[in-house]
């Protein structure tokens, strides 16, 4: 099985088909959809619990007062708002005392500045040779969201460009074969890494190596007229790559800008049962409401099977561990048991990078070993969600009603109940009523937000519904108010107005509502 994951891109077509169908027969690949959660040591819900969950997650009908427990979006792990920029950095209130040392050790690894190899600090060497940041925390400052550079000399640390090229007639991978079996041969667009550049543009390098290039952004201002005579200017970005270090980029290169996501509540999102998320999917829009969420399906390196994607802007990773290990690999150039390549995202054409000294093959094995990955994963999984603010404010309640009336809640599903989990280490996430405002599904967001870069099952117009909890604390935690996958929106209203595709009707309703209603809607979002 291990060889399958290492050679997804190179196995002959016939061999892949034979192996994939064999795996389906063994139950390793689910058919038609994977509804189990191998990463969740969950206890099966009883019929009574299912009824209880359905009752507490039913859509709100009364907006005259807050719902029960609405002020605690992270369940019993919700932490009080500290009033400072560290409110996203806290462990959950229900974290057992015996686990707090693991949380702090994970925090230290999250903040660690990696250095080049060889180094006298063996536990910290292995950076690059090509990379985007020297630590996790450099992208996720205060565990908050990243931002685009605001001027030519501004650093680009918390934002990067995903890269790919169309797969053409390249042999199908095992995952692609499965998706073709599920969706039809033409339903899933296939990609491959860019020759000489890989899957991601690394704009930094160690001494003696050439960076891959520099992300450049130009903006076009687009005026939008709203009801009541209000006008707003939205900025449309145009991306390019200057100073390409490894040859001309191909004409068909696919570029997708990504800012770092905020880190709170990841373990709670991971603990939502897959069957609950899949129950929200309506790919054929059978109910006729114009909303047709689809699950992304991805290959799990940890569990060696197809799983539901949950993390990243297009739900490209299935678990917190794999999201973390992928970031170490692509962003910092650090190898781990799931990504054992010490040269990071370097390609076969980047010979000097592949042959560079690295920090692997010492007592740790990989540049960050499984113990280190477990600690970082534990930290990322247990960053607490802060309490809501002003839940009983009349304007906030009116904004909440408008949020539902305009259809925003059709994708930004307010409430979920997590699985009942076994093990003390999973106690903070077990059987919690949470309020993340996401369905974790893919939705067509229209041409305006399209990056035209597919990712597994996601098309170039589809994005995962972003969780909204904590969004009103962005300015305080991250020092800016930029939103969406590339930070183009400079405030929450701009973010709403960029919605298209399945969200076009909701977006139009916002432009047409009276100004005082728009203000109430934004006030509600700021309370999250």
Answer positive or negative: Cα dihedral of 307, 311, 317, 318. negative
Per-residue confidence (pLDDT) for residue 32, from 0 to 100: 63
Please provide the size of the chain in residues: 528
Which residues does residue 311 pair with via DSSP β-bridges, in sequence order? 317
CA–CA dist 291, 300 (Å, integer):
28
Closest CA to 388 of 179, 110, 120, 79: 79
CA–CA dist 129, 204 (Å, integer):
8
CA–CA dist 420, 41 (Å, integer):
8
Per-residue confidence (pLDDT) for residue 13, from 0 to 100: 40
Who's near 14: CB < 8 A, 6+ residues apart? none
Q: How many CB atoms sit inside 10 A of residue 189's CB?
A: 19
Q: 3-class SS at 19? A: helix
CA–CA dist 465, 443 (Å, integer):
7
287 to each of 4, 141, 281, 283, how far by Cα in Å? Answer: 39, 42, 11, 10
Closest CA to 408 of 483, 481, 491, 497: 497
CA–CA dist 86, 50 (Å, integer):
37
Q: 3-class SS at 350? A: coil
CA–CA dist 332, 342 (Å, integer):
10
SS (H, E, C) 421-487: ECCHHHHHHCCCEECCCCCCCEEECCHHHCCCCCECCECCCEEECCCCCCHHHHHHHHCCCCECCCC
Per-residue confidence (pLDDT) for residue 9, from 0 to 100: 32
Peptide bond into 129 cis (omega under 30): yes
Per-residue confidence (pLDDT) for residue 31, from 0 to 100: 54
Find where tokens 């307010």 sit: 414
Closest CA to 20 of 307, 322, 305: 305
Q: 3-class SS at 131? A: strand
Per-residue confidence (pLDDT) for residue 123, from 0 to 100: 83
Per-residue confidence (pLDDT) for residue 29, from 0 to 100: 52
Long-range (24+ apart) CB contacts under 8 A made by 228-233 are 228/514, 228/515, 230/515, 230/518, 232/493, 232/494, 232/497
Residue by residue, pLDDT tens for the chain (528 residues) are 223 333 333 333 444 444 444 444 444 455 567 888 888 888 889 999 999 999 999 999 999 999 999 999 999 999 999 999 999 999 999 999 999 999 999 999 999 999 999 887 878 899 999 999 999 999 999 999 999 998 777 778 999 999 999 999 999 888 888 888 887 755 678 999 999 999 999 999 999 999 999 999 999 999 999 999 999 999 999 999 999 999 999 999 999 999 999 999 999 999 999 999 999 999 988 989 999 999 999 999 999 999 999 999 999 999 999 999 999 999 999 999 999 999 999 999 999 999 999 988 776 779 999 999 999 999 999 999 999 999 999 999 999 999 999 999 999 999 999 999 998 889 999 999 999 999 999 999 999 999 999 999 999 999 999 999 999 999 999 999 999 999 999 999 999 999 999 999 999 999 999 999 999 999 999 999
Q: How many CB atoms sit inside 10 A of residue 70's CB?
A: 17
**Which contiguous run of DSSP H or E holds residue 216?**
strand 214-225
Who's near 184: CB < 8 A, 6+ residues apart? none
Q: Are the C-beta atoms of residues 244 and 161 closer than 8 Å to each other?
A: no
CA–CA dist 391, 395 (Å, integer):
9
0.85 exceeded by the pTM?
Answer: yes
CA–CA dist 267, 429 (Å, integer):
7
Phi–psi pair at 204, nearest 5 degrees: -125, 160
Closest CA to 336 of 363, 362, 367: 367
């Amino acid at each position: 099985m291990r060889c399958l994951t290492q050679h997804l891109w190179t196995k002959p077509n016939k061999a892949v088909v034979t192996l994939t169908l064999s795996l389906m027969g063994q139950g390793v690949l689910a058919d038609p959809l994977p509804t189990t959660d191998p990463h969740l040591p969950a206890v099966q819900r009883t019929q009574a619990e299912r009824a209880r969950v359905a009752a507490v997650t039913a859509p709100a009908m009364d907006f005259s007062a807050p719902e029960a427990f609405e002020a605690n979006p992270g369940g019993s792990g919700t932490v009080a708002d500290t009033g400072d920029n560290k409110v996203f950095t806290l462990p959950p209130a229900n974290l057992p005392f015996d686990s707090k040392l693991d949380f702090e050790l994970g925090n230290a690894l999250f903040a660690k500045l990696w250095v080049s190899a060889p180094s006298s600090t063996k536990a910290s060497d292995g950076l690059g040779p090509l990379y985007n940041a020297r630590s996790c925390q450099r992208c996720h400052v205060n565990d908050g969201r990243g931002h685009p550079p605001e001027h030519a000399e501004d650093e680009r640390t918390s934002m990067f460009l995903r890269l790919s090229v169309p797969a053409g007639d390249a042999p199908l991978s095992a995952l692609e074969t499965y998706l073709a079996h599920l969706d039809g041969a033409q339903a899933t667009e296939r990609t491959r890494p860019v020759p000489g550049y890989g899957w991601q543009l690394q704009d930094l390098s160690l001494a003696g190596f050439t960076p891959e290039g520099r992300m450049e952004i130009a903006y076009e201002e687009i005026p939008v007229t709203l009801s009541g005579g209000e006008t707003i200017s939205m900025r449309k970005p145009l991306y390019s790559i200057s100073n390409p270090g490894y040859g001309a980029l191909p004409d068909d290169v696919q570029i997708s800008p990504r800012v770092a996501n905020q880190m709170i509540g990841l373990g709670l999102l991971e603990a939502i049962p897959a069957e609950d998320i899949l129950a929200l999917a309506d790919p054929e829009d059978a109910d006729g409401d114009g909303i047709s969420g689809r699950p992304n399906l991805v290959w799990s390196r940890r569990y060696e099977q197809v799983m539901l994607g949950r993390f990243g802007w297009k739900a490209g990773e299935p678990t917190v561990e794999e999201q973390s290990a992928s970031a170490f690999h692509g962003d910092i150039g650090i190898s781990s048991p799931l990504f054992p390549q010490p040269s990071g995202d370097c390609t076969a054409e980047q010979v000097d990078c592949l042959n560079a000294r690295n920090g692997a093959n010492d007592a740790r094995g990989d540049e960050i070993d499984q113990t280190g990955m477990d600690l970082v994963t534990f930290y990322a999984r247990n960053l607490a969600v802060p309490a809501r603010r002003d839940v009983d404010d009349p304007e906030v309640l009116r904004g909440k009603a408008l949020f539902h009336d305009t259809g925003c809640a059709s994708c930004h599903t307010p409430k979920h109940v997590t699985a009942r989990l076994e093990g003390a280490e999973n106690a903070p996430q077990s059987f919690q009523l949470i309020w993340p405002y996401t369905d974790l599904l893919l939705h067509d967001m229209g041409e305006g937000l399209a990056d035209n870069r597919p990712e597994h099952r996601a098309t170039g117009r589809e994005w995962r519904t972003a969780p909204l909890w904590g969004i009103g604390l962005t300015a305080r935690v991250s020092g800016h108010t930029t939103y969406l996958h590339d930070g183009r929106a400079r405030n929450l209203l701009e973010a709403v107005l960029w919605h298209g595709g399945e969200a076009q009707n909701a977006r139009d309703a916002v432009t047409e509502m009276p100004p005082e209603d728009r203000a109430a809607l934004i006030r509600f979002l700021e309370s999250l």
